[in-house]
Structure 1
């Protein structure tokens, strides 16, 4: 083996698994769209507890699920899909073995940049760049772009 030591008592692991079971039982009675989206997002920890065909409704235009490589990979393991495989292959060819946790981040990163400039009090030096980012974001908002609409953080920043 790898001789890795995991400094956690078995009772702690058992408690975590018990909490997971309680959460799954609580969620089992809820058949809302929000519950389905949540369960799809945490697919990697659920294994065979999901209806994999239902998760396909959350596939984005770029082939990913929630722009999340790990969720996309977990879904691909249980439900083969060409678009998901293309998304993951694209990430590996672009980033190698160290892919980001979320991709693409274009709108979110740009809005974070604008936010940081404003907080630092230097946004007046980047007026044209900020206007361009906000105009592009506004057009994406009007088109209900999934990069904005399906990510609560990006949606909140875009709305702000």
Structure 2
């Protein structure tokens, strides 16, 4: 992800060097569900870091990710379709960034997702009715450019 970052004024990602991902700022690593001897990246927490960049498709390789919080930064672009591989993802908070495009339909493919916060971005168009078929714990969509109302 570090190559997808254009600006990091607080140097949050300064220690993202080398193979010891477990020591990287903002990265949570825990034992896997299947093998407690194996440690994997399970969370990304980069809230309020003023980081500018985009989300690379390689994030889809973090298949054990359960939490992805990057609110209050300057990330732009779209939520990549590779997020469909994050089948354990429970929480997604990309609020207060600069994401664009239509509602990220890839979120509809994430059956473990119970917390969605995409407020304060530049998403536009219709909100898929299918989104409201699931009973999320948290679903925050306001302050975008959606043309449909929340039911």
- For normalisation by structure 1, the TM-score amounts to 0.25
* Greater percentage in strand: 2
Larger radius of gyration: 1
- For normalisation by structure 2, the TM-score amounts to 0.26
